[in-house]
Amino acid sequence: MKIISSIEELRDQLSGQLRTAFVPTMGNLHEGHLSLMRLARKHGDPVVASIFVNRLQFGPNEDFDKYPRTFQADVEKLEKEGVYVLFAPTEKDMYPEPQEYRVRPPDDLGNTLEGEFRPGFFTGVTTVVLKLLSCVQPRVAVFGKKDYQQLMIVRNMCRQFALPTNIIAAETWRADDGLALSSRNMYLSAAERAEAPALYQNLNFVAEEMRAGHLDTFQLERKAMDELAKRGWQPDYISIRKRNDLQPPTAGDLAQGSPLVVLAAAKLGTTRLIDNLEI
What is the full per-residue pLDDT of the chain (279 aa) written as tens digits? 999 999 999 999 999 999 999 999 999 999 999 999 999 999 999 999 999 999 999 988 787 888 889 999 999 999 999 999 999 999 999 999 999 999 999 999 999 999 999 999 999 999 999 999 999 999 999 999 999 999 999 999 999 999 999 999 999 999 999 999 999 999 999 999 999 999 999 999 999 999 999 999 999 999 999 999 999 999 999 999 999 999 999 999 999 999 999 999 999 999 999 999 999
Q: Among residues 20, 24, 33, 77, which one is catalytic? A: 33
Per CATH, is 2-170 categorized as 3.30.450.20?
no
As a whole number of angstroms, the distance between CA 79 and CA 97 comes to 32
The reply to whether 257 sits in an annotated binding site is no
The reply to whether 253 sits in an annotated binding site is no
Cα-based angle 81, 87, 89 (whole degrees, multiple of 5): 145
Q: What pLDDT was estimated at residue 155?
A: 97
The reply to whether 144 sits in an annotated binding site is yes
Residue 112, SS3 per DSSP? coil
140-144 sheet: strands from edge to edge: 2-4, 85-87, 47-51, 21-25, 140-144, 166-170
> Which sequence spans correspond to the domains of the chain?
2-170, 185-278
Q: What pLDDT was estimated at residue 59?
A: 87
As a whole number of angstroms, the distance between CA 10 and CA 132 comes to 11
Residue 163, SS3 per DSSP? coil
Buried residues in 241-257 as b, exposed as e (16+ CB within 10 A): bbeeebeebeeebbeee
| CB-CB neighbours of 147 under 10 Å | 18
Give pTM, 2 decimals: 0.94
As a whole number of angstroms, the distance between CA 181 and CA 39 comes to 17
Q: What pLDDT was estimated at residue 30?
A: 94
Q: What pLDDT was estimated at residue 63?
A: 79
The reply to whether 183 sits in an annotated binding site is yes
Domains 2-170 and 185-278 share a fold: no
Contact 126, 153 (CB under 8 A): yes
43 catalytic per annotation: no
Q: What pLDDT was estimated at residue 68?
A: 86
Instruction: Please state, in angstroms and as integers, the Cα–Cα distance from residue 152 to each residue in 12, 18, 118, 122, 241, following that order.
Output: 31, 25, 17, 11, 13
Choose which CATH entry (3.40.47.40, 3.30.1300.10, 3.40.50.300, 3.50.50.60) describes domain 185-278.
Answer: 3.30.1300.10
The reply to whether 28 sits in an annotated binding site is yes
As a whole number of angstroms, the distance between CA 230 and CA 222 comes to 12
Instruction: Please state, in angstroms and as integers, the Cα–Cα distance from residue 110 to each residue in 154, 160, 247, following that order.
Output: 11, 15, 11
